[in-house]
A and B are shown apart, each in its own frame.
Chain A
Amino acid sequence: MFDKTHVTLDELRHLISDRALEGDTVLLNMGPQHPSTHGVLRLLLELDGEAVINCIPDVGFLHTGVEKNMEAKTYEKAEVMTDRLDYLNTVGNTLVYCLAIEKLVDLDVPPRA
Chain B
Amino acid sequence: MNEYLQSVANALKDRHAAGLIEYRDQLSLVISPEDLQPVCLALRDEFSFEMLSAQTAVDYWPQQEPRFHMLYFFYSLAHNIRLGLRVPLNGNAPTLPSIEGIYPNANWHEREIWDMFGIRFEGHSDLRRILMPYDWEGHPLRKDYPLGYEEVQFTFNYDEIDQRKPYAKE
Q: Which DSSP category, helix, strand, loop or mixed, fits chain A's interface?
A: loop
**Does A51 count as interface, using CB distance less than 8 angstroms?**
no
Please, how many residues of chain A have a CB less than 8 angstroms from a CB on the other chain? 23
Q: Is residue A20 within 8 Å, beta carbon to beta carbon, of the partner chain?
A: no
State the Cβ distance, A55 to closest chain B Cβ, in Å.
Answer: 14
Contact between A2 and B118, CB atoms less than 8 A apart: yes
Asked whether any CB of chain A lies closer than 8 Å to the CB of B141, the reply is yes
Residues of B within 8 A of A4 (CB): 137
**A104–B24 alpha-carbon span in the complex (Å):** 8
Give the residue of B92, B134, B140, B141 whose beta carbon is less than 8 angstroms from that of A5: B134
Chain B residues near A6: list those with CB within 8 A.
134-135
What are the residues of chain A within 8 A of B130 when measuring CB–CB? 59-60
**Per-position 1/0 for B116-158, Cβ under 8 A of A:** 0010000000101111101111111101110100001000000
Q: Does B147 contact A68, Cβ atoms closer than 8 Å?
A: yes
| A2 x B138 contact (CB < 8 A) | yes
Contact of B93 with A by CB under 8 A: yes
* Docked complex Cα distance between A15 and B127 (Å): 12
A12 to B141, CA, bound (A): 25
Q: Chain B: interface residue count, which band?
A: 20 to 34
B147 contact set on A, CB distance < 8 A: 68-69, 72
A65 on the B face (CB < 8 A) = yes
Say yes or no for A67: interface residue by CB 8 A criterion: yes
Cβ-defined contact, B144 with A7, below 8 A? no
Q: Are the C-beta atoms of A2 and B139 separated by less than 8 Å?
A: yes
Residues of A contacting B152 with CB < 8 Å?
71-72
B142–chain A nearest beta-carbon distance, Å: 8
A5 to B153, CA, bound (A): 28
**A3 close to B (CB within 8 Å):** yes
Contacts A2-B138, A67-B141 given; indicate if A60 touches B118 (C-beta within 8 A): no
Chain B positions within 8 Å of A65 at CB level? 140
Q: Say whether, besides A60-B130, A65-B140, A3 and B135 are in contact (CB < 8 Å).
A: no
Chain B residues numbered 82-122 whose CB sits less than 8 Å from any CB in chain A: 92-93, 118
Contacts of A106 in B (CB 8 A): 24
Could you tell me the distance between the alpha carbons of A11 and B143 in the complex, rounded to whole angstroms?
Answer: 29
Would you call B131 and A59 a contact (CB within 8 A)?
Answer: yes
Of A5, A7, A12, A59, the most chain B CB neighbours within 10 A belong to A5
Report 9 cross-chain contacts, Cβ distance below 8 Å, ordered by A residue: A1-B92, A2-B138, A6-B134, A11-B128, A12-B128, A68-B147, A69-B147, A72-B147, A106-B24
Residues of A whose CB lies within 8 Å of any CB of B are 1-7, 11-12, 14-15, 59-60, 63, 65, 67-69, 71-72, 103-104, 106
**Chain B residues within 8 Å of A, Cβ to Cβ:** 24, 92-93, 118, 126, 128-132, 134-141, 143-145, 147, 152
